[in-house]
Amino acid sequence: KVRETSDIGEIGLFQPDLRAGIAINPDSELIPVARAGGITTILALPSGGGNMTSPGRSGGSGVITGQASVVQLAGWTMPEMVQNLEAGLHINWPGGKERKQPVEELKRWLKEARLYEAGRSQKPEVRSQKEGGDKTTDGSALPPLNTQPSTINPPPLNPIIDPRYEALRPYVRGEKPVFIEADTKQEIVEALKFAEQEKLKIVLCGATDGWKVAAQIKAANVPVIVGPVMRKPVEEYDPFDATYANAGRLHEAGVKLCFRSDSASNSRNVPFEAAQAVAYGLPAEVALRSVTLTSAEILGTADRIGSVTVGKSANLILTDGSPLQQTTQIKAILIQGHPFQPESRQTRFYEKYRARLKP
């Protein structure tokens, strides 16, 4: 029996070599809709998965789903739009009672990626093959490849290039961020401990229960991409406004944060996610910065976007009020200095059916 295909998700629980930016459709109607909402740049996260009990987020999503991409919402082709194809590794932190097995498998992947990195980093002339195993030129034994049984073939020293391990190299070196989806208190605490043990540079995504462990997040110096804000609390006994006040409490603890929506189709609503947090304790100036410069800092693009600074891309919006207010009208948009009208399929329908009412 052949499994059915899905255009929005790849099959497989561990696929670090996939890159979300490759799948960007420049003709998608979601792009002008988000742009008309004042969004000029997004972080596209990959999705995918297989049949494992509670491997992460709902819908059978994978553990390592691929690499996120920073994408500007203007351009004729994918290469024109993608600003950073490999902006960060995306991990769905395993949840539920059966989480132990996928967590152990995740650790094996990173362990073997480090062995692969060690092999790829060494020059061929410093190694020689001798009877009794691999040895360096000074005769000292090389570290064992894999001391535990694994479902993954262990990479050899001086290995053949493997796209999966190759993709993991900058992350095990700590050069790029790892975006970890973790919502509950338990998931967040486990993700923080995991990052410390594996020496990973992480960004927490979601973090609905972040307010419960805000001090730990701050102590670990981990930024958070909060959202969606407009959702139910995790536990039945949580206060009704737990998710609304989450960002404010994280800010009070000194955590750097920005916001996101729950899907590509709702990207336009990110400013209103921040606005909801303002109504429940987050300072307005912090909220505005969170959807501009702070977002760019967390995504590693603050040298190009996020503020009106000489030398940065001219990504600007012209409004008649605060971008956080739903009544504010966006008059014009600039992306890399090119002007765009705030038009979309929705505004076209609005004009079409408004004309129908005219005599």
**Cα 254 vs. chain centroid, distance in angstroms?**
21
Question: In a 3-state reduction of DSSP, which class is residue 168?
Answer: helix
User: Both tokens of residue 4?
Assistant: 């059915």
> Which residues does 42 contact at the CB level (< 8 Å), separation at least 6?
34, 70, 71, 73, 264, 267
Long-range contact list for 139-145, CB < 8 A, 24+ apart? 143/115, 143/118, 145/112, 145/115
Pairwise CA distance, residues 346 & 63, whole Å? 36
Q: Is the distance from CB of 135 to CB of 128 less than 8 angstroms?
A: yes
- Please measure the distance between the N-terminal and C-terminal CA atoms of the chain and give it in whole angstroms: 60
pLDDT of residue 328: 96
CATH number of 10-98+177-309: 3.20.20.140
Residue type for position 164: R
Pairwise CA distance, residues 331 & 326, whole Å? 14
Pairwise CA distance, residues 102 & 62, whole Å? 10
Model pTM score = 0.86
Other beta carbons less than 10 A from residue 78's beta carbon: 16
Return averaged pLDDT per consecutive 10 residues of the chain, 359 residues in all: 67 91 95 96 83 39 92 96 97 88 95 92 55 44 44 60 95 97 97 98 97 98 96 93 98 98 93 97 98 98 96 96 95 96 93 87
pLDDT of residue 138: 46
